[in-house]
Amino acid sequence: MSITQTDLTRINTFVFDVDGVLTDGLLYCFADGEQVRAFNIKDGFAIKHAISQGYRVAIISGKNEPGVRKRLSQLGIEDIFLGIEDKVDALEDYIYTQGIHPATVAYMGDDMPDFEVMQRCGLRACPADAADDIRAIATFVSTKNGGRGAVRELVEQVMKAQDTW
């Protein structure tokens, strides 16, 4: 599938998975049990800029780590759903309570837990290194890997298409 200008211009909401999208998918585990992920600063800038221009940004992730929540909050993201087992339910609840039309949502995921939820959004996006099944249904495949600027590339393209970058 390919992305069109119309796909980009109708987006007003970005929804992201964390591991493999906002991070490179690596998880560093220390002896004390702490788990550490690395976020890309350019992805963070794009998210903050999108929020400042009135776009909604939400996170739906299966993991629930305090450090992740803190980083996302620092970026100005208010709609953070961590520890989610059913991403479809989380997305549907979010768009219903916020009055968002699914066609205006860009969702970026990278692996099978994102498969069903991506299909309910107007723009299905993934990093270059996403699972094959995810790339097969994506309308936007970034040229960047997860945690390496994929989020920035999506946000920037959408905002440039709308003259808000």
CA distance 133 to 73: 31
Q: Which CATH class is domain 5-161?
A: alpha beta
Mode of pairing for the β-strands spanning 56-61 and 13-16: parallel
Residues in a beta bridge with 14:
57, 106
Interval 76-124: pLDDT, tens: 999 999 999 999 999 999 999 999 999 999 999 999 999 999 999 999 9
Residue 163 annotated as lining a ligand binding site: no
Q: Which residue has the higher pLDDT, 113 or 34?
A: 113
* pLDDT surpasses 60 at 72: yes
The pTM for the full model equals 0.95
96 within 8 A of 6, measured Cβ to Cβ: no
Mode of pairing for the β-strands spanning 28-29 and 35-36: antiparallel
Residue 110 annotated as lining a ligand binding site: yes
